[in-house]
Amino acid sequence: MITLALSKGRIFDETLPLLAAAGIEVTEDPDKSRKLILATTRPDVRVVLVRASDVPTYVQYGGADLGVTGLDVLLEGGNQGLYQPLDLRIAACRLSVAVRADYDYASAVKQGSRLTVATKYVNLSRNFFASKGVHVDLIKLYGSMELAPLTGLADAIVDLVSTGNTLKANHLVEVERIMDISARLVVNQAALKLKQAPIRRILDAFASAIPQS
């Protein structure tokens, strides 16, 4: 049995075409059932649904053989020991700094002010601002980062941006792009050895179906 860990939402949705290329179809709709283990048209392949931030943990400890997870999750969580054979180029976005439209970020940075930054990505933010020599106080949030500059909780946020619509709707502007993000395939090292042939077949099919841009 091959177990693939996915999170509901964009990772699940955007992995489906890659699975199709491998001849694998998920036979249950995660939005219509409460099941956490989904069967596929291949009797030897199943999908488990976990929180996005738990995908690397499942794969690292063998709860799943393979997983699809954002580079943001991998870098923030320090799971770089995992075998990451493929950039799937799905769920693409960028990690950026954003502020209120009326906040002069450039001057604050130039004057060496101490910025308060709210984010879910405290490790990535700490490294980024340290590399720029900008002093920051970091506030860890678990969601709705956009609210922080609007309520006076923080001067800036570090968050993922794709269309930019969420920032725009909250009168925030992107002032710095930290890095490009996309989803990666991660593989359990032991599974790669023990189930080499079936895992290789999936890797090759995924590789041939990665969207080009």
**Site residues, ligand PRT (CB under 6 A):** 7, 9-11, 52-53, 70, 72-73, 91, 93, 143, 159-166, 181, 183
Nearer to ligand PRT among residue 24 and residue 74 (C-beta) = 74
- Under 8 Å CB-to-CB from 44, ≥6 apart: which residues? 1, 2, 198
CB of 42 to ligand PRT, least distance (A): 25
Element (H, E) at 174: strand 172-181
Nearer to ligand PRT among residue 50 and residue 109 (C-beta) = 50
Report how far residue 157's alpha carbon sits from residue 117's, in angstroms, rounded to the nearest whole number: 5
CB of 198 to ligand PRT, least distance (A): 26
Nearer to ligand PRT among residue 98 and residue 191 (C-beta) = 98
Residue of minimal Cβ distance to ligand PRT = 70
CB of 117 to ligand PRT, least distance (A): 15
**Concatenated DSSP letters of 61-73:** TTS-SEEEEEHHH
3-state secondary structure of 35: coil
Among 11, 15, 10, 47, which Cα is nearest to 28's?
A: 47
Nearer to ligand PRT among residue 49 and residue 109 (C-beta) = 49
For residues 72, 74, 78, 80, the Cα torsion angle rounded to the nearest 10 degrees is -130
Nearer to ligand PRT among residue 91 and residue 199 (C-beta) = 91
CB of 143 to ligand PRT, least distance (A): 6
CB of 97 to ligand PRT, least distance (A): 13
Greatest Cα-to-Cα distance within the chain, rounded to the nearest angstrom: 62
3-state secondary structure of 212: coil
